[in-house]
Amino acid sequence: MAVTNQPGSFQPSDFQTGIYDCCDDCGTCCYGMCCYVCLGCSIASDLDECCLCGLSWPIRSVYRTRYNINGSMCSDAIIGMCCPLCLTCQLKRDIDRRKEQGIF
């Protein structure tokens, strides 16, 4: 019998909210606007990374890879350069939703 899928693999998906869906979670948006560095540290803590890593676009790439989310390092870098707050808030919203769903 031929193996056609890797064990534990799952279909690619998208982030659960859009990059500009700040109104989906105003608390996270306000948190990011008031203390952007603290939000990044919270993300890094969620992903068991160094606090300094939470604000960089590579952590988004690591997260996308871990959860098989569509995208590329190039798109992560472009979004990170153009709108780092939106990128960071989207990542935190996705983490929080996955925690609520029990898939984090």
Quote the CA–CA distance of 20 and 75 in Å, as a whole number. 15
Stretch 32-51: mean pLDDT, rounded?
Answer: 92
Q: What is the pLDDT of residues 42-95, one digit of tens each?
A: 999 999 988 878 888 889 999 999 999 999 999 999 999 999 999 999 999 999
**pLDDT score, position 2:** 52
> In terms of pLDDT, which residue wins out, 12 or 67?
67
What is the distance of C-alpha 76 from the center of its chain? 10
Query: Nearest CA to 43 among 30, 57, 53?
Result: 53
Domain boundaries, the chain: 22-101
pLDDT tier at 11, thresholds 50, 70, 90? confident
Q: Is the pLDDT of residue 9 over 80?
A: no
